[in-house]
């Protein structure tokens, strides 16, 4: 039963919280699998965007209450927190699952394919679970049911965190893990350690991968506005071309990575994902804008890259007779796995998946707002495979199933 065991057994086989209940847990896991799959399919059929997970959060809250778990609703907009107090003294362990879908049209012709449409930032969009959060919610609901059945044997407290808006809230709103932490989810009771996972479609089902220390990159979004002087396309010398200057900037940003960053200390990625300027093919416009993302693996490098981007943009614009502004929005922190906690939990992972199926992996330049929980307690975030073995040879790229961050 490899679909849900990783998150369950990371807790079940931890001697700090479970006292001689492995057999009870194993039986409960076998019984819960059918429910877990049904929940996953239901959530996939009814996805909801960040800060709008009304149906999902109600199902989660109702389920936790049915198990006799203390429930807090409307945390960070639509989040749900469940608190299960064990029958014996011990630490408070938090487990987190994210609930939101993405503004993407699902094109698969499957029975549980989403046909949901909604409005996102003023646009009509499709909605689907393209990043596995439906699976995460179903898994954590299963964990809650199994542990509620052995609560008298639990050593400590388990806090179930069902988080909205991991993919980011709508424009103009707060949301996600940062808001959960801001509203006190790691307190009352104070969390001693926090765990999370993400499924990955490029890893075989039943396999687990992890990395101590810096694991997933910070994610910053930047916006550049280059202001020049408009003129006719046949007479560029009469103006200052912000599109041509923007092209220079885009090229120069890559030299920050290739010539100014010590890549032996960790990867750096600067990507321009959008550029907008002009209205007609023979008119040089007054301005051009571009938007992109920055990925780094430590705070010092992050700060340095921000300064180098600002300097590069301003000096190239100045050399071309233009002006330019740069704004950088910090989206997530580096997801950092506490090395001591990782070392302690590796035997649990190996028990869950088998020693041969657990391995350390490289850095991931995708990002996760789980990183905010790690600012309040030791944390461990790992990857669980969900790809059938037969499909592994056909995968064109080894990519983590991340979409928006």
Task: Verify whether residue 304 is a known catalytic residue.
Answer: no
Token readout for 384 is 């669980």
Whether the Cβ atoms of residue 376 and residue 189 lie closer than 8 Å to each other? no
- Interhelix angle for 22-45 vs 54-66, to 10°? 160
Whether the Cβ atoms of residue 83 and residue 69 lie closer than 8 Å to each other? yes
What does the DSSP assignment read for 306-355?
HHHHHHHHHHHHHHTT-EEEEEEEEEE--EEE-HHHHHHHHHHHHHHH-G
- Interhelix angle for 5-12 vs 22-45, to 10°? 150
Whether the Cβ atoms of residue 170 and residue 104 lie closer than 8 Å to each other? no
| Residue tagged active-site, from 100, 134, 209, 241 | 100
Q: Which DSSP helix (H) or strand (E) runs through 210?
A: strand 208-210
d(CA 149, CA 92): 18
Q: Is 207 left (phi over 0), alpha (psi -120 to 50) or beta?
A: beta
Helix (H, G, I), strand (E, B) or coil at 101: coil
| Residue tagged active-site, from 48, 106, 145, 166 | 166
Sign of torsion over alpha carbons 120, 75, 140, 37: negative
Helix (H, G, I), strand (E, B) or coil at 213: strand
d(CA 200, CA 309): 32
Nearest to 33 by CA among 151, 135, 183: 135
Task: Verify whether residue 100 is a known catalytic residue.
Answer: yes
Which residues does the annotation mark as catalytic?
100, 166
């Amino acid at each position: 039963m490899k679909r849900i065991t990783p998150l369950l057994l990371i807790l079940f086989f931890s001697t700090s919280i479970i006292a001689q209940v492995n057999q009870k847990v194993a039986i409960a896991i076998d019984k819960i699998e059918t429910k877990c799959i049904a929940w996953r399919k239901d959530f996939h059929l009814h996805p909801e965007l960040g800060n709008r997970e009304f149906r999902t959060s109600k199902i989660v809250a109702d389920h936790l209450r049915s198990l006799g778990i203390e429930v807090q609703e409307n945390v960070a907009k639509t989040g749900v927190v469940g608190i299960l107090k064990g029958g014996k003294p011990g630490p408070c362990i938090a487990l987190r699952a994210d609930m939101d879908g993405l503004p993407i049209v699902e094109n698969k012709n499957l029975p549980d394919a989403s046909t949901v449409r909604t409005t996102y930032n003023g646009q009509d969009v499709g909605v689907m679970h393209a990043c596995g959060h439906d699976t995460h919610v179903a898994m954590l609901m299963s964990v809650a049911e199994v542990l509620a059945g052995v609560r008298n044997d639990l050593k400590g407290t388990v806090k179930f965190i069902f988080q909205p808006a991991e993919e980011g809230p709508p424009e103009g709103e707060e949301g996600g893990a940062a808001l959960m932490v801001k509203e006190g989810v790691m307190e009352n009771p104070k969390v001693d350690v926090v765990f999370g996972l993400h499924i990955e479609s490029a890893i075989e089902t039943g396999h687990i991968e992890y990395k101590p220390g810096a694991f997933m990159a910070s994610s910053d979004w930047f916006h550049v506005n280059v202001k020049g002087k408009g003129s006719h396309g046949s007479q560029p010398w009469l103006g200052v071309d912000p599109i041509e200057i923007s092209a220079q900037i885009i090229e120069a940003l890559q030299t920050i990575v290739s010539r100014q960053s010590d890549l032996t200390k960790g990867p750096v990625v600067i990507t321009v994902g959008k550029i907008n300027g002009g209205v007609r093919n023979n008119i040089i416009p007054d301005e051009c804008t571009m938007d992109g993302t920055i990925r780094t693996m430590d705070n010092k490098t992050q700060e340095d890259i921000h300064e180098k981007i600002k300097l590069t943009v301003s000096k190239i614009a100045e050399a071309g007779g233009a002006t330019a502004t740069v704004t950088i929005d910090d989206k997530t922190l580096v997801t950092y796995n506490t090395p001591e906690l990782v070392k302690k939990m590796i035997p649990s992972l190996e028990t869950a998946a088998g020693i041969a199926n657990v391995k350390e992996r490289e850095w991931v330049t995708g990002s996760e707002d789980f990183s905010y929980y790690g600012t309040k307690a030791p944390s461990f975030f790992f990857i669980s495979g969900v790809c059938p073995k037969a499909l592994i040879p056909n995968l064109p790229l080894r990519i983590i199933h991340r979409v928006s961050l």
